[in-house]
Amino acid sequence: MFRKFGRYFYFLLFLCYLWLPPFATAAETNSPNIDAASYIVMDFETGVVLSEFQSDLPKPPASMTKMMTQFIVFDEVKKGNIAWEDMVTISPRAAAIDEAQIHLAAGDQVSIKELLIASVVQSANDATVALAEYIAGSEEKFVQMMNQKAKELGMNRTHFWNSTGLNKESYPDPPGGDERHVMSARDTAILAQKLLKSHPEIVQYTSLPSYTFFEGTPRAHRYYNWNWMLPGLSQFYQGVDGFKTGHTNAAGYCFTGTAKRSNFRLITVVMGTKSQVARFEETKKLLDFGFHHFEVKTLIPAQQAIPNNEYFSLPNALERSLPVVVSKPIRLPINKEELNQYTYQVTYKKHLQAPIKQGTVVGEVRVLYRGEEIKGMEPVPLISKTDMEKGSWLRLQLREWGDKLNYFFE
């Protein structure tokens, strides 16, 4: 009889499972429906992740690789190692590179600036390899610079084999070394964010809808940016001013994008979409999601206290407690529909002793959403608002006796 009742019980549970709605999760409630192998959308300023899927999965990035090549070019210009006006002699190897190109010929003399623009606008593989060879002497040595830079940026699921993102068969003379070539969606977003923060002037190139190379010569040709979301192109989206497309059979259709509206800039990555147009359609969904559901808000201005955490106790201080404030504003994109879901988690350093000078870091505060840490949000240091002197032995002893008396008479 018990077994018979048990069967009925489990059958009823199964019916309840079918009838009841699923439990809501943050992803189900807030995230967009994106048709891509992996994706991420992040706030540019803070790195806070607004939505993601399989974002740590290393995948072939195709020509999104070129963002790292461009990063190193800008770095080298800033260091003074090269100049935009430097003329590069195109090698036979660079001229022979297949796929997207501006049809460089061996022996051509082209400036660093024009090669950079070709890499950005046309995703030109010949121009990209020419830059790599000029800067490092060979593409292999340049790739070493790329991988070192990736480590410095915290791109932990990235490994480069070449400067372009091309498959091996597209190289008449492929580079040597470890042929693994992958980036995760998160690493790709980090790369775009750090590139734009380090070299904001790159936007003057990534925002170009088209560019004419070899202008004024019989070889003049106008190329249109592969980023069709730019003004005047077929997938225009307000605020988009970069970044980089990519496609190979292994990678599918990929796109790293960025758009700014008012004081709010987003970084998006989609990897493994199904077509040229699909990568932009899915990016639009991510941008719509970010701009519609979130707003940038300063929760606590700099030098202000955390609510209910205005003071920190120091056992040996002249005063009982030390006033503490945030060292910088707590500012991040907030889900407009759930403002009451944001709370603070304060952690103080252990074993702190007076004396303490004004501005000393005494702890940190994290912002929680629905009780969980926000991905990409770094903790904000808490600092002492004033100096705090050490109390004399007699004062501390009298305070202790007074506390004991108060406890006795309560």
Terminal-residue alpha carbon distance, the chain:
63
Q: Six-digit token pair at 198? A: 């380090």
For residue 355, is the peptide bond before it cis, meaning its omega torsion is within 30 degrees of 0? yes
Q: Six-digit token pair at 126? A: 């010949």
> What amino acid occupies position 104?
L
Closest CA relative to residue 332, chosen from 358, 365, 285, 288: 365
CA distance 57 to 49: 16
Distance of CA 93 to the CA centre of its chain: 34
Asked if 197 is an active-site residue, the reply is no
> What amino acid occupies position 169?
E
Asked if 63 is an active-site residue, the reply is yes
**Active-site choice (51, 123, 184, 384):** 123
Three-state secondary structure call for residue 362: strand
Three-state secondary structure call for residue 170: helix
* Partners of 31 in the β-ladder: none
**Active-site choice (31, 38, 51, 63):** 63
Residues recorded for the chain: 410
CA distance 30 to 27: 5
- DSSP structure class, residue 131: H
Distance of CA 350 to the CA centre of its chain: 32
Backbone angles phi and psi of 99, in degrees to 5:
70, -150
CA distance 368 to 380: 12
Give Rg (Cα) of the chain: 28
Asked if 78 is an active-site residue, the reply is no
SS3 for 280-332, per residue?
Answer: HHHHHHHHHHHHHHEEEEEEECCCCCECCECEEECCCECCCEEEEEECCCEEE
Backbone angles phi and psi of 126, in degrees to 5:
-65, -40
Catalytically active residues are 63, 66, 123
